[in-house]
Protein backbone atom coordinates (compact mmCIF):
# COMPACT_ATOMS: atom_id res chain seq x y z
CA UNK A 1 0.00 0.00 0.00
CA UNK A 2 1.30 3.46 -0.93
CA UNK A 3 1.26 5.59 2.23
CA UNK A 4 2.75 9.03 2.92
CA UNK A 5 1.45 9.64 6.46
CA UNK A 6 1.39 6.99 9.20
CA UNK A 7 -0.76 7.63 12.28
CA UNK A 8 -0.18 5.51 15.38
CA UNK A 9 -2.19 4.82 18.47
CA UNK A 10 0.06 5.03 21.55
CA UNK A 11 -1.13 2.74 24.34
CA UNK A 12 -0.95 -0.98 23.52
CA UNK A 13 0.52 -0.15 20.12
CA UNK A 14 3.90 1.48 20.78
CA UNK A 15 3.92 1.99 24.55
CA UNK A 16 3.25 -1.29 26.41
CA UNK A 17 0.36 -0.09 28.50
CA UNK A 18 -0.47 -3.43 30.10
CA UNK A 19 3.03 -4.09 31.43
CA UNK A 20 3.76 -0.51 32.47
CA UNK A 21 0.36 -0.12 34.13
CA UNK A 22 0.69 -3.41 36.00
CA UNK A 23 4.08 -2.40 37.36
CA UNK A 24 2.78 1.00 38.52
CA UNK A 25 -0.33 -0.51 40.15
CA UNK A 26 1.78 -3.09 41.95
CA UNK A 27 4.34 -0.57 43.24
CA UNK A 28 1.65 1.76 44.59
CA UNK A 29 -0.26 -1.12 46.18
CA UNK A 30 2.88 -1.91 48.17
CA UNK A 31 3.60 1.73 48.92
CA UNK A 32 0.12 2.20 50.40
CA UNK A 33 0.55 -1.03 52.40
CA UNK A 34 -2.79 -2.32 51.15
CA UNK A 35 -1.81 -5.94 51.80
CA UNK A 36 -3.07 -5.40 55.35
CA UNK A 37 -6.61 -5.19 53.99
CA UNK A 38 -6.38 -6.92 50.59
CA UNK A 39 -4.77 -10.33 50.74
CA UNK A 40 -4.62 -11.02 47.00
CA UNK A 41 -2.83 -8.21 45.17
CA UNK A 42 -3.06 -9.97 41.80
CA UNK A 43 -6.84 -10.33 42.12
CA UNK A 44 -7.20 -6.66 43.08
CA UNK A 45 -5.17 -5.49 40.09
CA UNK A 46 -7.20 -7.76 37.82
CA UNK A 47 -10.45 -6.28 39.17
CA UNK A 48 -9.09 -2.76 38.75
CA UNK A 49 -8.17 -3.41 35.12
CA UNK A 50 -11.65 -4.72 34.35
CA UNK A 51 -13.30 -1.72 36.03
CA UNK A 52 -10.89 0.64 34.28
CA UNK A 53 -11.81 -0.75 30.87
CA UNK A 54 -15.52 -0.37 31.63
CA UNK A 55 -15.11 3.22 32.76
CA UNK A 56 -12.90 4.13 29.80
CA UNK A 57 -15.68 2.87 27.51
CA UNK A 58 -18.08 5.20 29.32
CA UNK A 59 -15.59 8.06 28.96
CA UNK A 60 -15.21 7.47 25.20
CA UNK A 61 -19.00 7.52 24.88
CA UNK A 62 -19.03 10.92 26.58
CA UNK A 63 -21.09 9.80 29.58
CA UNK A 64 -18.29 9.92 32.16
CA UNK A 65 -16.25 13.04 33.03
CA UNK A 66 -12.45 12.88 33.06
CA UNK A 67 -12.08 13.51 36.81
CA UNK A 68 -14.70 10.90 37.71
CA UNK A 69 -12.82 8.37 35.60
CA UNK A 70 -9.46 9.15 37.18
CA UNK A 71 -10.50 8.55 40.79
CA UNK A 72 -13.66 6.52 40.30
CA UNK A 73 -11.87 3.50 38.81
CA UNK A 74 -9.78 3.18 41.97
CA UNK A 75 -12.71 3.90 44.25
CA UNK A 76 -14.80 1.16 42.66
CA UNK A 77 -11.95 -1.36 42.76
CA UNK A 78 -11.14 -0.65 46.42
CA UNK A 79 -14.82 -0.80 47.31
CA UNK A 80 -14.96 -4.42 46.10
CA UNK A 81 -12.54 -5.23 48.91
CA UNK A 82 -14.40 -3.30 51.58
CA UNK A 83 -12.31 -0.13 51.39
CA UNK A 84 -14.76 2.75 51.00
CA UNK A 85 -12.28 5.56 51.62
CA UNK A 86 -12.24 8.23 48.92
CA UNK A 87 -8.97 9.63 50.24
CA UNK A 88 -7.19 6.33 49.64
CA UNK A 89 -8.69 6.10 46.15
CA UNK A 90 -7.58 9.66 45.42
CA UNK A 91 -4.05 8.94 46.65
CA UNK A 92 -3.86 5.76 44.56
CA UNK A 93 -5.06 7.70 41.52
CA UNK A 94 -2.62 10.59 41.99
CA UNK A 95 0.28 8.21 42.62
CA UNK A 96 -0.59 6.12 39.57
CA UNK A 97 -0.84 9.14 37.28
CA UNK A 98 2.48 10.42 38.63
CA UNK A 99 4.33 7.11 38.25
CA UNK A 100 2.92 5.26 35.24
CA UNK A 101 3.89 7.72 32.46
CA UNK A 102 7.52 7.54 33.63
CA UNK A 103 7.72 3.82 32.86
CA UNK A 104 9.19 3.16 29.46
CA UNK A 105 8.60 -0.40 28.30
CA UNK A 106 7.82 -0.35 24.58
CA UNK A 107 6.68 -3.14 22.29
CA UNK A 108 9.54 -4.98 20.55
CA UNK A 109 10.98 -3.19 17.52
CA UNK A 110 9.18 0.09 18.21
CA UNK A 111 12.24 2.28 17.67
CA UNK A 112 13.53 0.23 14.74
CA UNK A 113 10.14 0.44 13.01
CA UNK A 114 9.85 4.19 13.48
CA UNK A 115 13.42 4.67 12.24
CA UNK A 116 12.73 2.54 9.16
CA UNK A 117 9.58 4.48 8.27
CA UNK A 118 11.22 7.86 8.85
CA UNK A 119 14.15 6.70 6.74
CA UNK A 120 11.77 6.20 3.83
CA UNK A 121 10.44 9.73 4.22
CA UNK A 122 7.14 8.82 5.85
CA UNK A 123 5.52 11.43 8.08
CA UNK A 124 4.60 9.93 11.47
CA UNK A 125 1.85 11.09 13.84
CA UNK A 126 -0.07 10.04 16.97
CA UNK A 127 -3.83 9.87 17.56
CA UNK A 128 -4.60 8.80 21.12
CA UNK A 129 -7.64 8.78 23.38
CA UNK A 130 -5.43 9.33 26.41
CA UNK A 131 -5.08 12.45 28.56
CA UNK A 132 -2.81 15.10 27.02
CA UNK A 133 -0.42 15.65 29.91
CA UNK A 134 -0.03 11.91 30.51
CA UNK A 135 0.47 10.91 26.88
CA UNK A 136 3.05 13.60 26.19
CA UNK A 137 4.99 12.50 29.26
CA UNK A 138 4.95 8.88 28.09
CA UNK A 139 6.31 9.94 24.72
CA UNK A 140 8.96 12.15 26.28
CA UNK A 141 10.20 9.62 28.82
CA UNK A 142 10.29 6.86 26.18
CA UNK A 143 12.27 9.08 23.79
CA UNK A 144 9.52 8.91 21.18
CA UNK A 145 8.43 12.55 20.84
CA UNK A 146 10.93 13.47 18.13
CA UNK A 147 9.56 10.86 15.73
CA UNK A 148 6.13 12.49 15.44
CA UNK A 149 5.06 15.64 13.63
CA UNK A 150 1.46 15.83 14.91
CA UNK A 151 0.23 14.47 18.25
CA UNK A 152 -3.54 14.48 18.75
CA UNK A 153 -4.94 13.72 22.21
CA UNK A 154 -8.69 13.28 22.50
CA UNK A 155 -9.23 15.38 25.62
CA UNK A 156 -7.44 18.35 24.06
CA UNK A 157 -10.00 18.61 21.26
CA UNK A 158 -12.99 17.07 23.05
CA UNK A 159 -13.42 14.22 20.57
CA UNK A 160 -12.46 10.55 20.99
CA UNK A 161 -11.80 7.78 18.48
CA UNK A 162 -13.69 6.35 16.63
CA UNK A 163 -15.53 9.63 16.00
CA UNK A 164 -14.70 10.63 12.40
CA UNK A 165 -14.03 14.19 13.56
CA UNK A 166 -10.83 13.26 15.39
CA UNK A 167 -9.41 11.60 12.27
CA UNK A 168 -10.40 14.55 10.08
CA UNK A 169 -8.74 16.91 12.57
CA UNK A 170 -5.57 14.81 12.60
CA UNK A 171 -5.46 14.74 8.79
CA UNK A 172 -5.98 18.48 8.67
CA UNK A 173 -3.20 19.24 11.15
CA UNK A 174 -0.82 16.85 9.38
CA UNK A 175 -1.66 18.24 5.92
CA UNK A 176 -2.43 14.67 4.87
CA UNK A 177 -4.84 13.05 2.44
CA UNK A 178 -6.92 10.18 3.82
CA UNK A 179 -6.27 8.06 0.72
CA UNK A 180 -2.50 8.02 1.35
CA UNK A 181 -2.67 7.77 5.15
CA UNK A 182 -2.67 4.74 7.43
CA UNK A 183 -3.73 4.31 11.07
CA UNK A 184 -2.12 1.58 13.18
CA UNK A 185 -3.72 0.59 16.46
CA UNK A 186 -4.61 -2.33 18.70
CA UNK A 187 -8.37 -1.74 18.83
CA UNK A 188 -10.50 -2.93 15.91
CA UNK A 189 -13.41 -0.52 16.27
CA UNK A 190 -11.63 2.48 17.78
CA UNK A 191 -8.53 2.56 15.63
CA UNK A 192 -9.02 0.49 12.49
CA UNK A 193 -12.70 0.79 11.63
CA UNK A 194 -12.67 4.38 12.85
CA UNK A 195 -9.90 5.19 10.37
CA UNK A 196 -11.49 3.19 7.56
CA UNK A 197 -14.72 5.16 7.77
CA UNK A 198 -12.92 8.39 6.77
CA UNK A 199 -10.99 6.75 3.94
CA UNK A 200 -7.74 6.02 5.76
CA UNK A 201 -6.13 2.58 5.63
CA UNK A 202 -6.59 0.93 9.04
CA UNK A 203 -4.00 -1.61 10.17
CA UNK A 204 -4.71 -3.73 13.23
CA UNK A 205 -1.82 -4.42 15.62
CA UNK A 206 -2.65 -7.79 17.18
CA UNK A 207 0.39 -9.11 19.08
CA UNK A 208 -1.63 -11.60 21.16
CA UNK A 209 -3.75 -12.96 18.33
CA UNK A 210 -6.96 -11.70 19.89
CA UNK A 211 -8.45 -10.94 16.47
CA UNK A 212 -7.32 -14.08 14.64
CA UNK A 213 -10.87 -14.69 13.38
CA UNK A 214 -11.12 -11.19 11.90
CA UNK A 215 -10.16 -11.39 8.24
CA UNK A 216 -11.62 -8.23 6.77
CA UNK A 217 -8.79 -5.87 7.76
CA UNK A 218 -5.03 -5.62 7.41
CA UNK A 219 -3.29 -7.09 10.45
CA UNK A 220 0.21 -7.29 11.87
CA UNK A 221 1.42 -9.21 14.91
CA UNK A 222 4.81 -7.51 15.14
CA UNK A 223 5.65 -3.86 14.53
CA UNK A 224 8.61 -5.00 12.44
CA UNK A 225 6.11 -6.18 9.80
CA UNK A 226 4.90 -2.64 9.16
CA UNK A 227 7.69 -1.40 6.88
CA UNK A 228 7.09 -4.45 4.68
CA UNK A 229 3.52 -3.46 3.86
CA UNK A 230 3.87 0.33 3.67
CA UNK A 231 5.63 1.69 0.59
Question: What tens digit of pLDDT does each residue of 180-195 get?
Answer: 999 999 999 999 999 9
Q: How many whole angstroms separate alpha carbon 86 and alpha carbon 227? A: 48
pLDDT digits (tens, 9 = 90+) for 107-154: 999 999 999 999 999 999 999 998 899 999 999 999 999 999 999 999
Give residue 66's pLDDT: 86
Rounded CA separation 134/85 (Å): 25
Residue 127's pLDDT is 98
Higher pLDDT, 40 or 216: 40
**Separation between Cα atoms, residue 211 and residue 100, nearest integer Å:** 27
- Measured in degrees and rounded to the nearest 5, phi and psi for residue 131 equal -75, 135
Does the pLDDT of residue 103 top 90, yes or no? yes
| All domains in the chain, ordered by first residue | 5-16+106-229 (3.40.50.1000), 17-102 (1.10.150.240)
What are the tens digits of pLDDT across the range 23-76? 999 999 999 999 999 999 999 999 999 999 999 999 888 899 988 999 999 999
Give the span between the Cα atoms of 47 and 78, in whole angstroms.
Answer: 9
Tell me the Cα Rg of the chain.
18
Amino acid sequence: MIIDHVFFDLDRTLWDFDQNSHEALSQIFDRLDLAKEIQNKRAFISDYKRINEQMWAEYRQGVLPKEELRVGRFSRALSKYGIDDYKIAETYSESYIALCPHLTLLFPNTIETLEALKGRGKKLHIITNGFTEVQHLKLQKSNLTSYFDVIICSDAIGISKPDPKIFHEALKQAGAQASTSAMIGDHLETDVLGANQVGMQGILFDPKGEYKNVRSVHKIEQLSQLPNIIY
